[in-house]
Chains A and B, each alone.
Chain A
Amino acid sequence: MYPEELKYSKEHEWVRMNGNIAEVGVTVFAQESLGDVVFVDLPEEGSDVEQFAKFGEIESVKAVSDLFSPVGGKIVEVNSAATDAPEVVNEEPYGSGWLIKVELTDTAQLDELMDAATYQATLE
Chain B
Amino acid sequence: MSITANAGDIDRRLLMDRSVAGRKAFTLPESDVPSQDLPDSSFLRDDVVLPEVSQLEVIRYFSVLSQLNFSIDTNFYPLGSCTMKYNPKINDELSNLPGLADIHPLQPDDTVQGAIRLLKNLQDDLGEITGLPGVSLAPLAGAQGEYAGLLIARAYHEAKNDSKRTVAIVPDSAHGTNPASAAMAGLDVVTVRSDDQGNVDVDNLRELANENTAVFMLTIPSTLGLFEPNILEITKIVHDAGGLVYADGANLNALLGLVKLVDLGVDICHSNLHKTFSTPHGGGGPGSGPVMVTDELAKFLPKPVAIQTEDGYALGTPEQSVGTINGFHGSFSIAARAFAYIKALGLEGLQSVSENAIISANYIQAKLRDKYNLAADRYCMHETVLSATKQKKRGVAGLDIAKRLLDFGIHAPTMYFPLIVDEALMVEPTESESKETLDHFIAVMRQIDDEIDASPELIHEAPHDLPVTRLDEATAARKPVLRWTADE
Q: B-contacting residues of A (Cβ < 8 Å)?
A: 33, 35-36, 38-39, 59, 61-65, 85-87
- Give the residues in chain A near B416, CB-CB below 8 Å: 62-63
A-contacting 9-mer, from B24-32, B144-152, B473-481: B473-481
Give CA–CA (A33, B474) in the complex, Å: 14
Number of residues on chain B facing chain A (CB within 8 A): 11
Partner of B477, one of A39, A65, A85: A39
Interchain CB contact under 8 A, B419 and A38: no
Please, could you name 9 A-B residue pairs with CB atoms under 8 Å apart, sorted by A?
Answer: A36-B477, A59-B477, A61-B473, A61-B477, A62-B415, A62-B416, A63-B416, A63-B417, A86-B478
Give CA–CA (A85, B477) in the complex, Å: 12
Query: Closest approach, in angstroms, between the C-beta of A64 and any C-beta of chain B?
Result: 8
Q: Which residue from chain B places its CB closest to the CB of A66 in the assembled complex?
A: B191
Give CA–CA (A63, B176) in the complex, Å: 10
Give CA–CA (A62, B473) in the complex, Å: 10
10 cross-chain pairs, A with B, having the tightest CB-CB distances, nearest first: A36-B474, A38-B477, A62-B416, A61-B473, A38-B478, A63-B416, A61-B474, A63-B419, A38-B474, A61-B477
Q: Which residue from chain A places its CB closest to the CB of B416 in the assembled complex?
A: A62
Interface of B is mostly: mixed
Query: Closest approach, in angstroms, between the C-beta of A10 and any C-beta of chain B?
Result: 13
Give CA–CA (A25, B176) in the complex, Å: 25
Give CA–CA (A64, B416) in the complex, Å: 11
- Give the residues in chain B near A59, CB-CB below 8 Å: 477
Interchain CB contact under 8 A, A36 and B419: no
Give CA–CA (A61, B422) in the complex, Å: 15
- Give the residues in chain A near B477, CB-CB below 8 Å: 36, 38-39, 59, 61
- Give the residues in chain A near B478, CB-CB below 8 Å: 38, 85-87
- Give the residues in chain B near A65, CB-CB below 8 Å: 419
Query: Closest approach, in angstroms, between the C-beta of A119 and any C-beta of chain B?
Result: 18
Give CA–CA (A59, B417) in the complex, Å: 14
- Give the residues in chain A near B474, CB-CB below 8 Å: 35-36, 38, 61, 87
Partner of B473, one of A36, A39, A86: A36
B456-488 contact mask (Cβ, 8 Å, vs A): 1 or 0: 000000000000000001100110000000000
Q: A62-B416, A65-B419 given; name 13 further pairs at CB < 8 Å.
A: A33-B422, A36-B474, A38-B474, A38-B478, A39-B477, A59-B477, A61-B477, A62-B399, A63-B416, A63-B417, A64-B176, A85-B478, A86-B478
Give CA–CA (A107, B411) in the complex, Å: 52
Give CA–CA (A65, B420) in the complex, Å: 11
B416-437 contact mask (Cβ, 8 Å, vs A): 1 or 0: 1101001000000000000000
Query: Closest approach, in angstroms, between the C-beta of B399 and any C-beta of chain A?
Result: 8
Q: Which residue from chain A places its CB closest to the CB of B480 in the assembled complex?
A: A38
Query: Closest approach, in angstroms, between the C-beta of B192 and any C-beta of chain A?
Result: 15
Give CA–CA (A33, B422) in the complex, Å: 9
Q: Which residue from chain A places its CB closest to the CB of B474 in the assembled complex?
A: A36
- Give the residues in chain A near B176, CB-CB below 8 Å: 64
- Give the residues in chain B near A33, CB-CB below 8 Å: 422
Give CA–CA (A39, B474) in the complex, Å: 10
Query: Closest approach, in angstroms, between the C-beta of A54 and any C-beta of chain B?
Result: 11
